[in-house]
Amino acid sequence: MEAKDLIIGCHVAMKAPKYLLNSLQEALSYGANAFMIYTGAPQNTIRKPTKDLFITEFQQTLKTNNISIDNVIVHAPYIINLGNSVKPSTFQLAVDFLRTEIIRCQDIGIKTLVLHPGAAVGALPQVALDQIVKGLDAACLPNQTLKIALETMSGKGSEVGINFEQLQYIINNVKQPNLIGVCWDTCHLSDAGYDLNNNLDEVINEFDHLIGLEKLFVMHINDSKNPLGSRKDRHANLGMGYLGFETLVNIIYHPKLINKIKILETPWINDQSPYLHEIKMIRTKQYNKDILLALGEK
């Protein structure tokens, strides 16, 4: 695969007046051929009906620009916590809202939904893992086409899904394991203790052994503001963190990962998007920190 054929994009907004069309146009302005959206605000359950999102025009414009809808990812809202075994009403809200998001995604034609597995909030991690299994079983539809990618978490607070063994447990115990896979987040992996700088091949092989690379549905590409094992979850722009540009390029172009969908979630700089520059740097494998720093100049 040549650099121009990489499936690389970024997180973009979906807002009025043309919603999905606006998201696509923003992604195209960055030179992306993939992108990720929320179907509404990530902090609440307020959602526009899918009939108002310009789905037909969106799908047609994707085809016009030779972008597969398979490369459009939806991120589930943060308020979904399937790991909560302490407060039944919070767990039920998570199940109900996840099911709503699954239906919305399928209405649009989306194939992959990224989901934070959940947090234990006072319970033992194993209790949270079992609760997540229960929640996924309750939320998933009998004839569901959408795949759910559980995101690798950094380990802050009482998060679970912070290592491959925990994700393996969830996948192996749900009733429809064919629907569940994983989303790697490079910042989260490093913050959780996976040494991507020095042991990338070992990390890839461990994942393949425990879960299988065919279950790696999408990757979030981020540098980390904190050192290995910090459990902080603070994203940095490419080359401005403890992973560094060379490591991130090695991940993106690794022979076992090169065909995976890759999404940037790096911070904006002085209210300006870095994505046009970061995507270009990835495609050319040439780093220019000055361009990113210039975004921060007033």
- The dihedral sign for the CA sequence 286, 243, 155, 150: positive
Quote the pLDDT of residue 265. Answer: 97
Quote the pLDDT of residue 3. Answer: 66
**Angle at 213 (CA atoms; ends 221, 113), nearest 5 degrees:** 60
> Is domain 3-295 annotated with CATH 3.20.20.150?
yes
Q: Bridge partners of 184?
A: 219
DSSP strand pairing (261-264 vs 34-37): unpaired
Quote the pLDDT of residue 297. Answer: 74
- The pTM of the full predicted model, rounded to 2 decimals, is 0.97
Round to whole Å and give the CA distance between 140 and 125.
22
Tell the burial category of 148 from Cβ atoms under 10 Å away from its Cβ (0-12, 13-18, 19+).
buried
Tell me if residue 255 falls in helix, strand or coil. coil
Q: Which residues of the chain have pLDDT under 50?
A: none
Quote the pLDDT of residue 44. Answer: 86
